[in-house]
């Protein structure tokens, strides 16, 4: 999956030791660029921390993510883990040419803004004999 948004801030760096060795974790808070923006906390582990620290607040990024949940003592915890970052506006890799026999498909964004709401009057035209006694 991927998510696109503007960097809000970088969280504190957390370090620890496990049976497999030392580990580091840092959160990156972004705000999506949709009609109704959402704030999302992305979890960066060892390899992605250095990349996350290069982004400035307000910079648009695209992150390849995986969402995972786990249960501990009857409570569920969900992480949005980053496995790759790309700044938005960076040169994208050139796609391989397609054979002429196949139609060219345009890339569709993952998150589309829903169409604007159409007034109810367009769907339900007033009837000649109806009385509207609603107070609003």
The whole-number pLDDT of residue 127 equals 53
Q: What is the CATH number of the domain that holds 35?
A: 2.40.50.140
CA-based nearest residue to 11, from 80, 76, 86: 80
The whole-number pLDDT of residue 65 equals 93
Residue 119 lies in a domain: no
The per-residue pLDDT for range 119-134, each reduced to its tens digit, is 444 444 455 555 556 5
Question: What three-state secondary structure class fits 103?
Answer: coil
Would you say residue 111 has pLDDT above 80? Answer: no
Name the pTM for this structure: 0.60
- CA dist 71 and 42 (Å) reads 19
Q: Count up the domains in the chain and report the number.
A: 1
Residue 92 lies in a domain: no
Residue 130 CB partners (closer than 8 Å, separation 6+): none
Sign of CA dihedral 125, 126, 130, 136: positive
- Greatest Cα pair distance in the chain: 78
Q: Bridge partners of 14?
A: 25
The whole-number pLDDT of residue 64 equals 93
The per-residue pLDDT for range 52-67, each reduced to its tens digit, is 999 999 999 999 999 9
Residue 102 lies in a domain: no
């Amino acid at each position: 999956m991927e998510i696109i948004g503007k960097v809000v801030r970088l969280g504190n760096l957390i370090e620890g030791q496990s049976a497999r060795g030392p580990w580091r974790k840092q959160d990156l808070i972004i705000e999506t660029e949709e009609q109704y923006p959402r704030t999302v906390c992305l979890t960066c582990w060892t390899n992605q921390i250095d990349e996350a620290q290069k982004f400035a607040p307000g910079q648009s990024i695209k992150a390849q993510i995986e969402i995972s949940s786990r249960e501990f003592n009857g409570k569920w915890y969900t992480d949005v883990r980053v496995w790759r970052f790309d700044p938005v506006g960076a040169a994208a890799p050139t796609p391989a040419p397609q054979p002429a026999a196949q139609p060219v498909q345009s890339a569709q964004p993952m998150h589309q803004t829903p169409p604007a709401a159409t007034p109810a009057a367009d769907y339900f035209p007033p009837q000649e004999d109806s009385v509207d006694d609603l107070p609003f």
